[in-house]
Amino acid sequence: MLKRLWRAFVPAKPCCLVGEGGKVYSEANIVNMQGDKNLISIGRSSHVQAELLTFAHGGCIEVGDECFIGVDTRIWSASSIHIGDRVLISHQVNIFDNQTHPVLASKRHAHFKTIFSSGHPGSIDLGERPVIIEDDVWVGCGAIILRGVHIGRGAIVGAGSVVTKNVAPWTVVAGNPAELIREIPEGER
């Protein structure tokens, strides 16, 4: 029910920029708590079926050209998340550039109470660290990419992987935590 109500209000106020030929599908959920449409941009010919969210205290999401972001994927930014060109992000992927709540239990509880009493706070430390996903990356279904991670060009993240550290270009990583499986040879690039 809440998703339907939110979607009903989204068209009344532009909440992101979409390049020529880009499409945000009806199952997508764009949540721009700062209200600045320039903070969420979707490139030319990109297709988004996911939730893109920027927090009230900060955040920026850039999706490059000719990308696909699947259903039930969540990309939540309190700092910055940059997604290059021709990136394929499957279904049920989670990408966070922050911890989403404070680590200290008392601050975490206070944060939770604030969200439900007056909304997300305009000032809070969530341990933000930017995420960068370079061109031609493929992220498999159910993967999780955590704050501060840089995924190099052409890399493949296996389904269900939890990426906690940088991924070199033209490599395949998988597992929890994600580890190097193999390098992608020149002929497969």
Q: Can 120 be counted among the known catalytic residues?
A: yes
| Catalytic position from the list 57, 91, 111, 120 | 120
Mapping DSSP onto H, E and C, the string for the chain reads: CHHHHHHHHHHHCCCCEECCCCEECCCCEEEECCCCHHHEEECCCCEECCEEEEECCECCEEECCCCEECCCCEEEECCCEEECCCCEECCCCEEECCCCCCCCHHHHHHHHHHHHHHCCCCCCCCCCCCEEECCCCEECCCCEECCCCEECCCCEECCCCEECCCECCCEEEECCCCEEEEECCHHHC
User: Active-site residue numbers?
Assistant: 120
